[in-house]
Amino acid sequence: MDGAARRIDLPVDTLDHATAAAEAARLSAEIERANRAYYQEDAPEISDADYDALLARLAAIEARFPDLATAASPTRRVGAAAAAGFREVVHARPMLSLDNAMSDGEVREFAARVRRFLSLADDAALPLTSEAKIDGLSLSLRYEGGALVSAATRGDGSRGEDVTANARTIADIPHRLPAGAPAVLEVRGEVYLGWEDFTALNAAQEAQGQKRFVNPRNAAAGSLRQLDPAVTANRPLRFLAHGWGEVSAPLADTQYGFMMALKALGFPVSDTLVQVEGEEQAIAHWAALLARRPSLGFDIDGVVHKVDRLDWQERLGFVARSPRWAIAHKFPPEQALTRLVAIDIQVGRTGALTPVARLAPISVGGVVVTNATLHNEDEIARKDLRVGDLVLVQRAGDVIPQVLCHRTPEAEHAALPTFAFPDHCPECGSLATREPGEAVRRCTGGLTCPAQRLERLKHFVSRRAVDIEGLGGERLAAFIALGWLERPGDLYRLPERETEIAALDGWGRQSAAKLAIAIAARREVPLDRLLFALGIRHVGEVTARDLARAVGDWPALAALLDALVAHDPAPAEGETPERHAKRVGAELAAMVGVAGIGPEVATALRDFWAEPHNRETVADLLGFVTPLPARIETRESPVAGKTLVFTGTLETMSRDEAKAAAERLGARVAGSVSAKTDLVIAGRDAGSKLRKATELGLEVIDETAWRAILAAV
C-alpha cells in the first residue's frame, strides 16, 4: 500500500458512530478502487494482504454498527462491474468469493463454525476436500444440450463479461460434452498461465516492442479479456475447473465426486485435489502444497478447503459474499534476504519523486526480483534503509515486490551512511517540494522536466488550454523523440520544420501545412487559458480564470508572482517547520487576495515561479505568444455574482458553451457542489452532484429553465 495512504487505524471498539461512518466510507472507497484495478483493469494496486485487511476492518465496523452495513457495501459484493466493450452476462447463480484463513488457527475456527452450524459434536468427523488455489481469472462456462453457449468472467459476482468467443480458443475448454451430460451445466474454474508460457509471452512482447506483463495473473486476465479473439488465440492460456453453478441434474453427492464427474466429461481438474478427514489433514495438505509450490509450474496463493458433502453445503448456505462451507487458506508471502545495492529516484509523469530499491538479484516465489518500490522518503526513514544493507524482501500478494526491513548486523548498519532524499529533481535539477500533510515530494520544473515533458505538452495543447489542433499524444511523442520539443515555446518553432514534418511517416505536405496554420492561430491566447496551460499544481480552469480576471493582464500577474517569491519570512522563535509553512501559506493567500484561492494554491504559484527553469520557459514562450487581457464582458442578469454548477448531459448546448454563457452573465462556474453553490443546472442523467445539491437544499433548475434565463437577457 502506498506510504501516502498509510494511516494509524484506531481499534474498532473505540470508534463512535460518526467516526465509524466516516471510516466505513473511506474503506469502501479504497476497496472499490482496488476492485476496479484488479477486476476491470487487470492491474492490482495493492497486495492481497492489504486488500484483505481493508475488507476485514470494514466488516468489523459493520458488525459493531449494523446500520452502516448497506446493500452496496463491498462486504456484500464481489469484484467490479463488467468493463465497457463487453456484453454483460447475468450469472444464473452468483459467482461468490471466499473468506480467507491466514493461519492454521483460523482453519480450525472455520471447522468449528461448520460443526456448530450443523449441530455436530466438537469431535465429529468432517469430510473436506482440499486443493491448490490457482491465481488466475475466474470463468463460468455454460453448457446447454451439451454445447458451450456462453463463457463469462466473474464481474461483480452477479453480472460478468461475455468472453465466449475468446474462451473457445482455449484448448482445455470443451466445445461439446459427451453423451450423458446434464441438459444445463455451468462449470466454473480459473484461466491461468504457466510460468514457462508467461516467460515466453513476455519475451515475445519485448521482441515486438510491446509492454511486458507484470505477472501471470495479469497476463491471463488481459489475454482473456481481449476484444479481438485472435489475440487470445495466440496466448497459451490454460483452464482448471474447481466448481459449478447451475446444473439441471446432480452429478454426485460429494464435492470430490462432482469434480471427478466433471473430469470424466473432459474438464481439467487439479491434481492437487484430495479428500481429507477433518481440518488437521486439510492443514497438513496445505503444508505439503506450500512445500511443492516452487515446483508446480504455475502461481497458487493458497489452498481451498470445502465441506465435501453436498447436502451439508446446502444446509450451510451463504453469507453476503461467500459460502459458509468453504475457506481459502492463504499462503504467507514468500520472503528472501538480499543486498540493497542502490536507491534510485524515479520521476513520474506528474512530477512525483519515487524511490526505487535496486537489489542484488534474488528469486522470490519463482520470480527473480531486482528492484522494489520504497514508496516515499518517510518509508525509507521509518525502516532506516541504507545502501549496502542486507534487506528482507517479499512479493506482497505474490505480485508486488516490497522491502520489509533491514537485517544488517547493528554495527555494520551504523557504519553505513543514511540516505539523503534529494530536494532537487534528478531529471532536470528543479526544486522538488513537499506540501504540508503529503508524503510525496514533487518536481516543480514541470514545463521543462524530461520525465514530465510529454504529459505537460499534451496538457498545454489540449482543447481547454491553448487548443492547438493536430497535436495528439503520438505526434508529440514523435517530435520529442526527434529532439524537436523540449518546452512549450518549441511548439511554435515547429512551422520552421514544415518540410521535415511533411516527410515523416503519417504526415504529408497538406497535413504539415495544416499544423503550421493551427499553431499560428494560437499566437494570441487568453490569459486564463495560458495560465491553465502552464500546468501549475492546483491551478485548474476555474482557479486560472478567477486569478486572471482579478489581475487583468500578464504584467500584473508577473508582478504578483514576483512578490510571492520575494515573500520569504524567517521562522519565528520556537515555530515548527509545519506551523511556519502554514503561516506563510496564509500570508501568500492574503497577498493574492482572490476569493477561492487559499494557501495551497498560493504556495503552488510561489513554488512554480521560484524555479528559474520555469521563468526561463515562460520567457521563451512569451516570445511567440501574446496573452490577451482577461476581461470578459458581462451583463446584468439573475445569476450575476453567483456560483453555478452544471451536471448531467445538456441537450441543446455543449458544457463549454453553457459555461461561457454563464460567465458572460457574470456568474462563476464551479466543478463541484458545495454549500457555497448558488444554483445547479441539471441535465439528463444527472447523478451524484444532483443528489448532493438536493441534500444541501440548493436551488436546482433544468435545462429549459436555464435557456429561459439566457433568453431573458
Helix (H) and strand (E) counts for the chain? 25, 26
Q: For residue 245, is pLDDT > 90?
A: yes
Residue type at position 676: K
Same structural domain, 251 and 377: no
Q: For residue 37, is pLDDT > 90?
A: no
Question: Which residues span the domain enclosing 506?
Answer: 499-628
pLDDT average, residue stretch 547-557: 90
* Of 285, 304, 330, the domain-final residue: 330
Q: For residue 149, is pLDDT > 60?
A: yes
pLDDT average, residue stretch 111-118: 95
Same structural domain, 57 and 199: no
Positions marked active-site:
133
pLDDT digits 0-9 by tens, 606-641: 999 998 989 999 999 999 999 998 755 556 688 888
* 391 contact partners, CB below 8 Å, separation of at least 6: 337, 338, 339, 340, 357, 359, 385, 403, 404, 405, 406, 407
Query: Residue 260: what pLDDT?
Result: 97
- What single DSSP character describes residue 20? H
> Which is higher by pLDDT, 94 or 364?
94
pLDDT average, residue stretch 377-387: 94
pLDDT digits 0-9 by tens, 402-438: 899 999 999 999 999 999 999 999 989 988 988 877 8
265 found inside a domain: yes
pLDDT band at 36 (very low <50, low <70, confident <90, very high): low
Q: Provide φ and ψ at 684, rounded to 5°.
A: -65, 140
pLDDT band at 398 (very low <50, low <70, confident <90, very high): very low
User: In the numeric block, which cell numbers belong to residue 360?
Assistant: 542484488
For 241, the 3-state DSSP assignment is strand
pLDDT average, residue stretch 672-683: 90
507 found inside a domain: yes
Residue percentage of the chain with pLDDT more than 70: 92
pLDDT band at 7 (very low <50, low <70, confident <90, very high): very low
Rounded distance, CA 418 to CA 477, Å? 38
Rounded distance, CA 68 to CA 602, Å? 39
pLDDT band at 47 (very low <50, low <70, confident <90, very high): low
Q: For residue 163, is pLDDT > 80?
A: yes
454 found inside a domain: no
Radius of gyration of the chain (CA): 30
Task: Give the CA distances from residue 4 to residues 8, 75, 352, 434, 438, in Å, rounded to whole numbers and listed in that order.
Answer: 12, 25, 12, 12, 7
Alpha helices, DSSP H only, in 364-423?
Answer: 377-383, 410-414
Query: Residue 534: what pLDDT?
Result: 93
pLDDT digits 0-9 by tens, 569-615: 999 999 998 899 899 999 999 999 887 788 999 999 999 999 898 99
Q: For residue 507, is pLDDT > 80?
A: yes
Query: Residue 173: what pLDDT?
Result: 95
Q: Considering only 68-82, 493-507, 672-686, which range has the smallest mean pLDDT?
A: 68-82
* 416 contact partners, CB below 8 Å, separation of at least 6: 386, 387, 388, 389, 408
User: In this structure, are residues 442 and 456 in contact, taking their beta carbons and an 8 Å threshold?
Assistant: no
Please state the separation of Cα 663 from the chain's center in Å: 35
Q: For residue 77, is pLDDT > 60?
A: no
Query: Residue 38: what pLDDT?
Result: 58
pLDDT average, residue stretch 328-343: 89
Q: For residue 43, is pLDDT > 60?
A: no
Q: For residue 79, is pLDDT > 70?
A: no
Q: For residue 143, is pLDDT > 60?
A: yes
Residue type at position 486: E
Query: Residue 318: what pLDDT?
Result: 87
Same structural domain, 650 and 589: no
pTM of the model: 0.49
Look at phi and psi of residue 640 and say left if phi exceeds 0, alpha if psi is from -120 to 50, else beta: beta
Q: Provide φ and ψ at 660, rounded to 5°.
A: -60, -40
* Of 330, 355, 374, the domain-final residue: 330
Q: Provide φ and ψ at 628, rounded to 5°.
A: -85, 135
User: In this structure, are residues 665 and 683 in contact, taking their beta carbons and an 8 Å threshold?
Assistant: no
Query: Residue 2: what pLDDT?
Result: 38
pLDDT average, residue stretch 240-252: 95
Same structural domain, 167 and 244: yes
pLDDT average, residue stretch 456-480: 91
Please state the separation of Cα 308 from the chain's center in Å: 38
For 293, the 3-state DSSP assignment is helix
CATH number, residue 45 = 1.10.287.610
* 143 contact partners, CB below 8 Å, separation of at least 6: 149, 177, 181, 182, 184, 185, 186, 187
Residue located via cell numbers 480564470: 545
User: In the numeric block, which cell numbers belong to residue 472?
Assistant: 495528439
> Which is higher by pLDDT, 602 or 349?
602
* 565 contact partners, CB below 8 Å, separation of at least 6: 606, 609, 610
656 found inside a domain: yes
pLDDT band at 396 (very low <50, low <70, confident <90, very high): low
Q: Considering only 246-250, 417-421, 531-535, 664-668, which range has the smallest mean pLDDT?
A: 664-668
Q: How many CB atoms lie within 10 A of CB 16?
A: 8
Same structural domain, 20 and 106: no
CATH number, residue 134 = 3.30.470.30
- What single DSSP character describes residue 38? I
pLDDT average, residue stretch 537-548: 88
pLDDT band at 362 (very low <50, low <70, confident <90, very high): confident
pLDDT band at 366 (very low <50, low <70, confident <90, very high): low
Query: Residue 373: what pLDDT?
Result: 85
447 found inside a domain: no
691 found inside a domain: yes
pLDDT average, residue stretch 684-695: 89
* Of 351, 383, 414, the domain-final residue: 414
What domain count does the chain have?
Answer: 5
pLDDT digits 0-9 by tens, 574-583: 999 889 989 9
Residue percentage of the chain with pLDDT more than 90: 52
User: In this structure, are residues 95 and 58 in contact, taking their beta carbons and an 8 Å threshold?
Assistant: no
Same structural domain, 648 and 599: no
For 400, the 3-state DSSP assignment is strand
User: In the numeric block, which cell numbers belong to residue 155?
Assistant: 464481474
User: In the numeric block, which cell numbers belong to residue 588?
Assistant: 501568500
Please, what sign has the CA dihedral across residues 660, 662, 667, 669?
A: negative
User: In this structure, are residues 114 and 307 in contact, taking their beta carbons and an 8 Å threshold?
Assistant: yes
Please list the residues that pair with 140 across neighbouring strands.
152, 188
Q: For residue 350, is pLDDT > 80?
A: no
Task: Give the CA distances from residue 280 to residues 126, 175, 352, 584, in Å, rounded to whole numbers and listed in that order.
Answer: 10, 39, 49, 64
Residue located via cell numbers 450423458: 180
> Which is higher by pLDDT, 485 or 662?
485
438 found inside a domain: no
Residue type at position 712: A
Q: Which residues of 161-192 are buried (b: 16+ CB within 10 A; e: fewer)?
A: bbbbebbebbebbbeebeeebbebbbbbbbbb
Same structural domain, 174 and 212: yes
Q: Within 13 Å and on the Cβ side, how many CA atoms surround 168?
A: 14
371 found inside a domain: yes
Same structural domain, 256 and 302: yes
Query: Residue 439: what pLDDT?
Result: 85
Share the mean pLDDT of the chain: 87
pLDDT average, residue stretch 480-490: 93
CATH number, residue 343 = 2.40.50.140
Same structural domain, 517 and 621: yes
Residue type at position 434: R
Please, what sign has the CA dihedral across residues 188, 191, 195, 196?
A: positive
Same structural domain, 59 and 173: no
CATH number, residue 649 = 3.40.50.10190
Same structural domain, 319 and 360: no
DSSP one-letter string for 412-470: HHHTSPPP---SB-TTT--BEE--TT-S-EEES-TTT-TTTHHHHHHHHHSTTTT--TT
pLDDT band at 299 (very low <50, low <70, confident <90, very high): confident
Same structural domain, 519 and 666: no
